[in-house]
Amino acid sequence: MAQTRSALKENLRKNIEARIPPEKIDKISRALEITAREKHDAITIIMGTISSGFFSVFAAYFMIGYSGFYDLGSAFLTGILIGGFVFSFETKFMSSRLSLFLRTRGFWLFLLVKIIFYLFVIIFSLNFSRFLFNKEEFILGIFTWKYFSSVTIAISASIAVNLYFTIRPLIGASTIANILKGTYHHPKEEERIFMFLDLASSTTIAESIGNIQFHRLLNRFFYDFSEPVLRSRGEIYKYVGDEIIIVWKKRSPRENLRALMLYFQILKKVEDQKEKYMDLFGVVPSFRAGFHFGRVITGEMGDIKKEIVYLGDTVNTTSRIQTECKYRDKDVIISEQFLEIIEKPLYLEFPDMGMITLRGKKNPLRLFSVELKE
């Protein structure tokens, strides 16, 4: 077993280093001007903070009975402070390594940290804003029914925000929005780009490091996956074992190229983190990807557990293309349909693999590999 693990580590180290030199990965990473996680988080924090301010005014006027200028001003400041702290906490801290560390130490410890933070923020924000707007009545004001009503409403609103941030990663922000809006209450035919990506040698790795460590490896890999997905403007559709499915809407050729660039962004991310992967797991993950474009039927499905699903030949074909990577010893294979809708960068070439009949398909499909020009 020790010899097998040692050989596996050496082979995977050579594999990741031989695929694409780091300097060329850097070039590809800078090839497109891309949005980052920071922009996504900033928009969430700003919108959440402003919404909290207006909700606080609404609650103060209609639910508690405040009507004076200073009282409503205090309520608005309270909402801004609570919203700013809570949304910053949920977007920044919850995606941090410290949060991951606390979650691995137990649910109750993690919950206790969140409760303490929420209570501190609520009490501080209420008292600070009341002190600024009502200095003379500050001490007496904190013992009134209206004050405790404010605390109760603030706690309830914070719990609602926390529930949203808990549910959002499970089903996706876009899925929540589409379900609430009823976008796909009736199925629609749409054009979508699909990427199927899976971990290479996953069975061998799992046998070598054990199932628990393999789960941790996958979780770490998918965690590092998140920021490149945001940059590519894609949507994580599903995790299927060691496979992940990403979906994009069809846009301009330059925008569509972001989908293909995601592969190289992930490669760069893993390259940057390879020493940590080796220290933690003894292996560096390598992966294969297949891309396809076509029409699908998009709609809500399920009752007890509702989700938005994509149905059609395009999804199945993309899966077959990704599987073909293993048979053809290629890292990336794309379909002719996908190649036709993307901008062709000068640093990439797309060797024609010819018409290939994919497993389980009757009609052949023209496929292309993706390689860096020398």
C-alpha span between 24 and 28 (Å, rounded): 6
Of the candidates 191, 220, 208, the one whose C-alpha atom is nearest the C-alpha of residue 280 is 220
Among 125, 140, 171, residue at a domain's last position: 171
Q: Which residue range(s) make up the domain with 88?
A: 37-171
> Does residue 303 fall inside a structural domain?
yes
pTM of the model: 0.69
165: phi then psi, degrees, rounded to nearest 5? -70, -20
User: Running along the chain, 374 residues long, what does each successive block of 10 average in pLDDT?
Assistant: 45 44 49 54 87 92 85 91 88 70 71 85 89 73 80 87 71 64 79 93 87 88 81 86 91 92 88 88 90 93 78 93 91 95 90 90 91 79
pLDDT tens, residue by residue, 270-298: 888 888 899 888 888 889 999 999 999 99
pLDDT tens, residue by residue, 16-48: 444 445 455 445 444 444 445 667 778 888 998
Q: Parallel, antiparallel, or unpaired: how do β-strands 287-301 and 332-335 relate? A: parallel
C-alpha span between 209 and 255 (Å, rounded): 39
Of the candidates 17, 8, 40, the one whose C-alpha atom is nearest the C-alpha of residue 226 is 40
Residues 157 and 72 in one domain: yes
Residues 220 and 360 in one domain: yes
> Does residue 16 fall inside a structural domain?
no
- Which residues have C-beta within 8 Å of that of residue 51, sequence separation ≥ 6? 83
- The amino acid that residue 177 corresponds to is A
> Does residue 275 fall inside a structural domain?
yes
